[in-house]
Amino acid sequence: MENIGVPISNNPVSAGFPSSAEDFKEKRISLDRTLIRNKEATFYARVSGKSMIGAGLDDGDLLVIDRNLEAENGKIAVCFLDGEFTVKRLRIERNKITLIPENEKYKPIEVPEGSNLLVWGIVTYVIKAV
C-alpha cells in the first residue's frame, strides 16, 4: 500500500463558530500511519446492513479491522460464525459468548457451545462517506 501524505489543518475544524483562515495552515498526514497499528494484521471491510447503527456503523461505512487485537468483552468485532461474516459487539461471560447488535430490530446471537466461531478481528476505526 503506497503511503501518501494528505494535507491536514494544524487545528481542528470548528463545528460551532467559524475559525479564521489562519487556523488552516497545512501539514501532511498519512491515513495509513494514523489508522493502522499493525500493518500485516490490518484489513478493511465495508458494512452491509443496519444491525450496528446504534454504534455508528452505517451501511456502506468502511471498517478498519485489526486481527492482532484480543477479543474482549464490549469490543466491536468482525466474526466468522458458521460460515458467515458478521460485525457485532462482543459480550463475553464465563463460558458464554453473545454477539450483540446495536439496533433493537435485531436479536442478539447467542453462540452455542461447539459452534464454529472465529473472532476475525477487532474494529479500530470507522470511515464514513458523506
Q: 16: Cβ–Cβ under 8 A, 6 or more apart, which residues? A: none
Catalytic residue among 75, 88, 105, 107: 88
Tell me if residue 51 is catalytic: yes
Contacts 24+ apart (CB under 8 A), 8-15: none
Tell me if residue 107 is catalytic: no
Catalytic residue among 51, 75, 105, 107: 51
* Active site positions, annotated: 51, 88
